[in-house]
Structure 1
Amino acid sequence: MVLDTDTFNEIDDQFAVVYAMKSPEQLQVEAFYAVPFHNKLSTGPQDGMEKSYQELLQIRTHLPEMSDVPIYRGSEAYLPGPDVPVESAAARNLVERAMATPDDDPLYVVAIGAITNVASAILLEPRIIEKIVVVWLGGHALHWPTAREFNLHQDLHATRTVLDCGVPLVLIPCLGVASHLQTTLSEVRDYVKDKGPIGAYLYETFENCNKDHVGYSRVIWDISAIAYLIDGSWMPNELVHSPLLSEQFRWSFDASRHFVRYVHYIQRDRVFKDLFGKLG
């Protein structure tokens, strides 16, 4: 697998990176790609991508398992229009890795941010859809009043590219599905803090995410995509026709479209038990 992550944007990406690297019996992480993002933590997508790249380097200082895994800068902008890729080291590396992958052993592309890098790679070399499986945390549940969610709405053109192109896709919604993955400072203190330098790093990151932790919980969204690959039975799913996305960020449906795999629930306790155990 490769992990496509907006690592500086939230605290959940750090947990996902660590979870992937602490699961060598199930996952072989071949590369990390920094993803653009734009919110109060960045001045624009280019700045968000660079901060995510630097955050990946920072995590590597606490996690020896990452020392030999390459990290690539991703897109500096969102797709400017339909079918218009954005060149980046990440997109080019994904194309190279995918095309070198045997037909019977796909490369899993785990995406936990805007889908710009992945969509750009597909547009640069459409044949990679025969070589990869995309596991993406994006949008909200298909029954939700809106699909508008941070990963999805940042790059409408990239989202539509991935939903429309026919690439094998596992879609993990945020609200209604990954939103089950809540934890608290007390739980992180008990099961993460004392698990070496990386445990202390994750605990400090969680502690600093909010000023008041009384009655407060936080969703660690991004570990959902890692957990799916570790044990899909924790995340009940079904085949559905790939949804259509309007410019108003609403889902609609067409039964003539290709199928994608849609996760509709997460067994929260199984995921956190596995994560906490591996930190030890």
Structure 2
Amino acid sequence: MRVLSDNDYAGDPDGLVQLAHHALSPSVDLVTVISSHLRPGDPFDDSGLSAEHGASAARRVLELSGRGDVRVVAGTEQQLSDRSTPIRSAGAEAMVAEAMREDTDLPLFVVLGAGLTELASAWLLEPRISQRLTAVWIGGPEHPGVPKPPGIGPSEYNLRIDVTAAQVVFDDSDIPLWQVPRDAYRQVLASMTELQQRMGDQGELGKHLFATLDGIADMCGTFGMSIGETYVLGDTPLVLLTALQSSFEADPSSCSYRTVGCPRIDDEGEYVPGSAGRPIRVYDHLDTRLAVEDLYAKLARF
């Protein structure tokens, strides 16, 4: 399959782990990497240049992965202003161009670990892309009937990056969508001890990736907080659901999902009760063993 990866590579470094994992996966053709923006005021990068900074971080990881051949472009630094006006960024244009290629029959998966600005803009620029790709998105709060973590705030981090873009993708578009909401992506939990031993001790790439994760613990410490002994590799399901599909009758067969009517998104980033549009996949169980063991093995062999 072809994979186009769109993530906030200047944000939570779990996206850089996902990028390295995809780069080391021989079953995917990693065609393009898009660095998308963070929300204004985000503590990871409040410079207004998070997409540009993330592109540099992504290029560094690809170089360490031996994949300097993969094209990296920066998306827009802005949120959508409304639901009908796309932002013509290098990222959105690259997504349209890849989806509309006529020289390959390989299926295209657009994997997204942050906001949905680039996908929404790409669809607004060329609605026909919805017939030519599958979007796999890490984001969105728990669906009805699934309890939220204690003390959690309104909406969800990735959805809040650009609520208007989420409304375009969920409410307006007909894009085939596999969603990994918060209750699912939080399942990919690794201890910092195992990460230090099985990632940090595995060459320059592993050392670099672990340092970015460990740096978050240091950053939180400056605010008087401790992240404890674990880290959520929340973007790793993007690899699990694409590169690690079953060999025969290809599908993420070790994971489970529900087919639901796509909910509408309100202006606060919450699902509108009772709304149901086109059918989408919502993953509720992930094969975390396969995901993290494959990551560690590929780092070690590399």
Q: Alpha-carbon deviations, 1:83-109, whole Å to 9, x = none?
A: 111110111111111111579643110
TM-score normalised by L of structure 1? 0.92
Shift of 1:217: 0.9
Decide whether the 8 Å contact of 1:53 with 1:71 is kept in 2: yes
Larger mean Cα displacement after TM superposition, 74-83 or 190-199: 190-199
2:46 aligned partner: 43
Residue 228 of structure 1 deviates from its aligned partner by 1.0
Deviation at 1:238, TM superposition (A): 2.1
Q: Give 2:291's aligned residue.
A: 271
- d(CA) in 2 for partners of 1:259 and 1:214? 37
CA shift, 1:49, in A, is 0.9
Which of 218, 223, 232 is equivalent to 1:219?
Answer: 232
Pairing 1:150–2:157 present: yes
CA distance in 1, matches of 2:216, 2:107: 36
Report the count of equivalent residues.
Answer: 276
Partner secondary structure for residue 115 of structure 2: coil
Task: Quickly say closer, same or farther: Cα 1:102–1:252, change in 2 above 3 A.
Answer: farther
Q: Give 1:257's aligned residue.
A: 277
**What SS does the corresponding residue of 1:75 show, helix, strand or coil?**
coil
Equivalent residue for 2:15? 13
2:199 pairs with 187, 192, 199, which one?
A: 192
Work out the CA distance in 2 between the residues paired with 1:74 and 1:214. 30
Give the direction of change, closer, same or farther, for the CA distance of 1:133–1:68 in structure 2 (3 Å limit).
same
Q: What's 1:178 paired with?
A: 185
- The partner residue of 1:166 within 164, 169, 174 is 174
Query: Is the deviation greater in 126-135 or in 98-107?
Result: 98-107
Q: State the distance in 2 between where 1:160 and 1:10 align.
A: 23
**Could you tell me which residue of structure 2 aligns to residue 72 of structure 1?**
73
Aligned to 1:89: 90
Choose the corresponding residue for 2:55, options 47, 53, 59: 53
Q: Which moved more, 1:269-278 or 1:120-129?
A: 269-278
State the distance in 2 between where 1:130 and 1:136 align.
Answer: 17
Tell me how large the CA RMSD over aligned residues is.
2.0
Higher alpha-carbon deviation: 230-239 or 107-116: 230-239
* Aligned equivalents of 1:279, 1:75: Cα separation in 2: 32
Q: Check the 8 A contact 1:119/1:159 in 2, yes or no.
A: yes
Mark the runs of 5 or more structure 2 residues left unpaired by the alignment.
246-251
Please give the TM-score of this superposition, normalised by the length of structure 2. Answer: 0.85
Quote the Cα distance in structure 2 between the aligned partners of 1:137 and 1:149. Answer: 10
Compute the displacement of 1:265 (Å).
1.3
8 Å contact kept, 1:30–1:70: yes
**Secondary structure of 2:93's match?**
helix
Q: Do the aligned partners of residues 50 and 256 (structure 1) sit closer, same or farther apart at CA in structure 2, a change above 3 Å counting? A: closer
Contact 1:228 1:234 in 2 (8 A): no
Deviation at 1:242, TM superposition (A): 0.5
Unaligned segments of structure 1, at least 5 residues: none
1:190: how far off? 2.1
* SS class of match (2:280): strand
Residues 1:68 and 1:185: Cα distance change in structure 2 (over 3 Å):
same
| Matching of residue 244 in structure 1 with residue 264 in structure 2 | yes
- Quickly say closer, same or farther: Cα 1:223–1:139, change in 2 above 3 A: same
* One-letter amino acid of the counterpart of residue 196, structure 2: R
Residue pair 2:8, 2:37 contacting (<8 A) in 1 also: yes
Q: Is the 8 A contact 2:138 2:238 kept in 1?
A: yes
Percent identical among aligned pairs is 23
Do the aligned residues in 2 keep the contact of 1:74 with 1:91 (CA within 8 Å)?
A: yes
Distance across 2 between alignment mates of 1:215 and 1:186 = 11
Amino acid paired to 2:206? G
The 1:104–1:252 alpha-carbon spacing in structure 2 relative to 1, beyond 3 Å, is: farther
Bigger mean CA offset, 162-171 vs 144-153: 144-153
Deviation at 1:266, TM superposition (A): 1.4
